[in-house]
Amino acid sequence: MKTTEVVNQLRRYPTAVYLAFSMLCIFIVLLVYSKNRLPDKAAVSPPQSAEQSLTEPRETETFPKANAEILSQTEVTVRRGSSLGDALAEAGLSGNESLQVCNALKPVLDLTRIPAGQTLQVSLNSSGNPVQVDIPIRFDKKVTASLKNGAWEARQIITPLHPVPVLVHCTVNTSLYQAAVDAGIPLSVMMEAIGLFSFEVDFQRDIQSGENITLLYEKLLDLEGKELSTGKLLFARLELEERSIDAWYYQTLEGRADYYGADGTSVRKALLKTPVNGARISSGFGYRNHPILGYTALHRGVDFAVAMGTPVMAAGDGTVVIAGWHKSYGNRVKVRHANHYDTMYAHFSSIARGIVPGVKVKQGQVVGYVGSTGMSTGPHCHFEVHYYGSPVNPATLKFPPRHSLEAEDLRLFQLEIDALKAEYGI
């Protein structure tokens, strides 16, 4: 039975869904309960040496001991335009108490940068007096102020996390998003993988049903084995009909993290920001006074001033969609790239031989020669980048330069991926 059929069946029987969901909840509660009772957490902790286990304190100091005095808790939210003090007042703290709490918090928390919507938990003792204020900052970090011997003290509490790699496979039926949902893969992980594949694949055209995706990513668990978040995507593979795309995570000795093919070449393929060698930008992207038309207009691209006849390269792999004359642009070439990017090159003295609509070009391939045809005041290449058909500033494109691992990095990378291949059978 297909997933969609299951969903339709479920829609028809809401009571069954309700019952199933309730049972699932009970099951999860039981599971969590039984897990918490297990004395040995080895099953969910990463392997560690016996020595480490002995020397590492079992009770980490990062968690505050449960405060026996706490009787009740209230949660308040910092509203837009209000301060932490306002939220504390709302929770019932006096002006003086609120001031003391804020003073205690100052060294560990930037009180001027508390976002609207930030929650605080205020704990009260049996007399109804505030004794502790907890401010969750991130899934693994909170700031706590507590009253000790009549004085407020604050500290940051970081939850120690263990990254545990998880291997998942899924098959694309309708979309990559749906595949992630069906396989229980966090969307953030799938988005990261999609970003990596997008340098090679045009998702509109290249993806068919039945294609397989393999991902190895980290789950971040706390000491109790509870999953708090996801960590790094370590490996992503997309199997297309006639080829497959692998992306391996690696952090260089210099500390730069990126994704590489098994040969150590970065999977990110930049669109060249400068399609002409030795050029200087004579006019940038944005509004300017048009030199010929004489009024302010959006300059939809970047002008590179360079000698007449200088070859201009395709900024990325793609297909030529326009190669010909335009009254303003003169001789111009437009190339369609994967994932809704187009580039356009104008005012050519001539278009390169063989560059006609429908022809595939490689990054760096010459598409034409600098000239001053069309509406132009001198030899230059007018270069536009379009995303979804709208011009964007090529200078601010967030593509890192393409690079390959070398020497010691390449050797370490090979060792790392060989180890992962052996361990996970990928």
Q: Where on the chain is the footprint of Zn ion (CB under 5 A)?
A: 303, 382
Looking at the Cβ atoms of 225 and 368, the one nearer to Zn ion is 368
Could you give the CA distance from residue 312 to residue 343 in angstroms, rounded to a whole number? 12
- For the CB of residue 348, give the shortest distance to Zn ion in the complex, in Å: 13
DSSP string, 117-140: T-EEEEEEETTS-EEEEEEEEETT
Looking at the Cβ atoms of 219 and 382, the one nearer to Zn ion is 382
Could you give the CA distance from residue 389 to residue 340 in angstroms, rounded to a whole number? 7
- For the CB of residue 306, give the shortest distance to Zn ion in the complex, in Å: 13
- For the CB of residue 291, give the shortest distance to Zn ion in the complex, in Å: 9
Question: Which contacts of 361-365 are long-range, i.e. CB under 8 A and separated by 24 or more positions?
Answer: 361/314, 361/317, 361/318, 361/319, 361/320, 361/335, 362/314, 362/317, 363/269, 363/272, 363/313, 363/314, 363/315, 363/316, 363/317, 364/272, 364/313, 364/314, 365/313, 365/314
Place of tokens 């990596």: 196
Looking at the Cβ atoms of 36 and 377, the one nearer to Zn ion is 377
- For the CB of residue 292, give the shortest distance to Zn ion in the complex, in Å: 11
Could you give the CA distance from residue 142 to residue 158 in angstroms, rounded to a whole number? 7
- For the CB of residue 304, give the shortest distance to Zn ion in the complex, in Å: 9
- For the CB of residue 382, give the shortest distance to Zn ion in the complex, in Å: 3
Residue nearest to Zn ion (CB): 382
Looking at the Cβ atoms of 130 and 330, the one nearer to Zn ion is 330
DSSP string, 43-74: GGSPP--HHHHHHS-SS-TTSPPP-TTEEEEE
Could you give the CA distance from residue 322 to residue 331 in angstroms, rounded to a whole number? 10
Looking at the Cβ atoms of 252 and 372, the one nearer to Zn ion is 372
Looking at the Cβ atoms of 373 and 414, the one nearer to Zn ion is 373
- For the CB of residue 362, give the shortest distance to Zn ion in the complex, in Å: 25
200: left (phi over 0), alpha (psi -120 to 50) or beta: alpha
Looking at the Cβ atoms of 303 and 317, the one nearer to Zn ion is 303
